[in-house]
Amino acid sequence: MKKSSITLAVSITCLFAQMVSAQTSTDKKIKLPVYGEVGLGFGQTLFFGDMKSQLTKSYGGAFESGIGNNLMMGFYIAPENWKGLGVGSRIKGTFGTSVKGDNGDDYIFNYYNLAITAKYYALSKEFKKGLYVRGSFGFGQFTTKRVNEAANLYKHQYAIGSSLMGGIGYTLPFKKTALSFEAEFDYSNRNGTIDGSGDASYKSGQIGGNIVLSF
């Protein structure tokens, strides 16, 4: 998992280094604009396919999906001549609230991803102003934990794979910063190994909303 994460991070870095080099060589007097962002949000975790049956195999008991709290940060390169388009990288983590499972145990479901992302302001043609759509593709992991402290029971399940995310939002520009409100949907397909069973596929996602500060 660490090697895959490092490979993705290096690939993203190389991609944007080439973009910067190409833009600079075209016109050395142009300063490439880079925008950063941080955000908070929440969302409802979604289980797809046989996710619940895979969790049952992993733990001997399953649980319903719960609400998660989102934390994200990223950056975009958005030259003026791109007419509202910005591309960059984004990392997002979701930290789920504890829920009760089939056996009355507590279950916690957390996940994160590191992605290549693009944001486009189709109407204003100006980055950080007005209505936008965003798409991201990345790589990440989820961690689930079954806890029963009275029985001294602690079981974990990990899975690694890809995530596809899409969002729509609106940005209010200020003098040096901007504030965005967005709705987001993501879908992930991750693979893990279940003790005594072998490889398993876990399909999950989220639908929710975020508040994002850009600078």
DSSP 99-149: EEBTTS-EEEEEEEEEEEEEEE-TTT-STTSEEEEEEEEEEEEEEEEEEET
> In 10 A of CB 128, how many CB atoms?
25
Distance CA 13, CA 143 (A): 26
Q: Residue ranges of the domains in the chain?
A: 34-214
Q: Give me the CATH topology for the region 34-214.
A: Porin (2.40.160)
Q: Tens digit of pLDDT per residue, the chain (215 long)?
A: 444 444 554 455 455 545 544 444 444 556 789 999 999 999 999 999 999 888 888 888 788 889 999 999 999 999 999 999 999 999 999 999 999 887 788 999 999 999 999 999 999 999 999 999 999 999 999 999 988 877 788 888 999 999 999 999 999 999 899 999 999 999 999 999 988 788 989 999 999 999 999 99
What is the sign, positive or negative, of the torsion defined by CA atoms of 71, 77, 80, 86?
A: negative
| Burial grade of 83 (CB within 10 A; 0-12, 13-18, 19 or more) | middle
